[in-house]
Amino acid sequence: MHITTRHVALGAAVVTGLAVVGAVAAGIVARDHSLERENFAWIPVAVVGEPVTGAATTGSGPQVTRAEYDGRLDEVRAVDPEATEMAFVIVPFGTRSVGVQGTSDFPEEMLVEGTPPASGEIVLSTSFADELAVGTGDTVTVGEDSPWEVPPTDVPGVSLNVTGISRDDDLGEILAASAWASMDEAWALGTAYGFHEPDGPTVIDTYVTWDGEVPADIEPWVLED
């Protein structure tokens, strides 16, 4: 399956609302090389609070809990142990917010210098590192202002070690991102900065790509060609 910008735009309409649609338009939604797989599932996960019944991403399935997500990921990895998971979180840095692409399969060919990020670490694009006046070995702190209209649901101000600098330009099927993180860090950032509505859950968009059959339990979240 070949994932295009059309798939990304279609999938961003409801759970994360206009904010992520705007992110798509701004070109900050990154695409990992592992999207060149047979199957692509877009799963909105309620990381704080209970999923809203019936809430869905356009072209995808309803919100799920983290435990439900983990169960479906386990089923996918039983089919393809090399399945890739990703998460996208809009995070405040300095005077603006940028998209942080979490992935379990960092595309090392995007690195200009340094190493892929682990928990507590981050890779910044060349231009974004220049904007923040930081480099490999420095520390950056996530801002204390929510990117949404309501405050974060967790304590902000997380400090992350910069372990590498990535390309600004796309590389074939890999789209550049302002920042890259491990999935562990993406989950942590999502808990604090995921899309949040008053009296509703905090939600982040996750993506799973793999080859092989589609387990029945994940079918509602699979995007078709």
pLDDT at residue 78 in the model: 97
159, 119 Cβ separation under 8 angstroms? no
Task: At 225, list the tokens.
Answer: 């060609």
Whether the pLDDT of residue 34 is over 70: the answer is: no
Average pLDDT, the chain: 77
Of residues 23 and 53, the one with the higher pLDDT is 53
The structural domain count of the chain equals: 1
pLDDT at residue 158 in the model: 80
Whether the pLDDT of residue 74 is over 50: the answer is: yes
Distance CA 64, CA 43 (A): 8
Summarize pLDDT for 161-175 with one digit per residue, the tens: 999 999 987 766 666
Give the mean pLDDT of 140-155.
65
pTM: 0.78
Of the listed ranges 34-38, 131-135, 141-145, the one predicted with least confidence: 34-38
186 torsion bin: left (phi>0), alpha (psi -120 to 50), beta (else): alpha
Whether the pLDDT of residue 48 is over 50: the answer is: yes
pLDDT interval class at 14 (50, 70, 90): very low
Torsion of CA 33, 20, 25, 86, to 10 degrees: 0
Instruction: At 67, give phi and psi (nearest 5°).
Output: -65, -40
Location of structure tokens 């809430």: 55
Distance CA 201, CA 185 (A): 19
What domain range includes position 111? 5-221
